[in-house]
Amino acid sequence: MSERDVVVRVIQEWNDANSVERRVALLPLRWETHTTPEFGKPQEIINRQVVDHCDLLIGVFWTRVGTATEVAESGTLEEIERVAAQKKPVMLYFSKVKQAPDEIDPEQLKRLRIFKHKIQDIAYIEHFDEQDEFRNKLTKHHTIRVKELMGSELPNGASDKPSTDIRVAFADSRGRMLGEQFL
């Protein structure tokens, strides 16, 4: 299982344990599952269809930063900068899991090291040595962050405080609100 899959599983487990009581379900957004084909610059499409709709970004790095875009060292780094500029939480994790030397792209590793150095004074980051350690850290950190987010106003005017009404919101596959109904 990849670290990206661990992120999705941690979010799903939070939903299993909390969504009924809190009346909130978290949706892990990934470009592979939440974008639709469209003519235009791919990163701009991903930003508009996915990144701009997230409330929290979780980034996991190993030895690569990805492919450069017109505005950033990589699409991933562009997404991080975009979310951070919106004052939304960004949680970054860096793997120390060993990788076969022949599978490491030295230029990508160099770019990753430059990125880490660039953010060291403006971001608190976490490292992990194995996937179980990552899962444990992410579960704890994600729970704390979601509590913080829910302590403030939730998206679309919802509140974390119990009410006698049940609000059902309808959204399309891109997360755009289509309407709501109170039961």
The pLDDT tens digits for 126-152 are 999 999 999 999 999 999 999 999 986
Q: What is the mean pLDDT of residues 159-172?
A: 51
Listed in order, strand segments (DSSP E) in 1-50 are none
Dihedral of alpha carbons 83, 85, 87, 89, sign: positive
How many C-beta atoms surround the C-beta of residue 74 within 10 A?
19
Q: Which CATH architecture has domain 3-158?
A: 3-Layer(aba) Sandwich (3.40)
pLDDT for residue 100: 93
What one-letter code names the amino acid at 142? H
To the nearest whole number, what is the mean pLDDT of the chain?
A: 88
Tokens of 60: 């996991």
pLDDT for residue 176: 60
Rounded Cα distance, 157 and 67, in Å: 37
pLDDT for residue 154: 45
CA proximity to 75, closest of 98, 55, 49 = 49
CA proximity to 131, closest of 169, 176, 98, 177 = 98
Rounded Cα distance, 29 and 51, in Å: 8
Tokens of 84: 């951070």
Q: What is the mean pLDDT of residues 24-46?
A: 95
Task: Select the more confidently predicted residue: 155 or 172.
Answer: 172
The pLDDT tens digits for 66-103 are 999 999 999 999 999 999 999 999 999 999 999 999 99
Burial class for 162, CB neighbours closer than 10 Å (0-12, 13-18, 19+)? exposed
Q: What residue ranges do the domains of the chain occupy?
A: 3-158
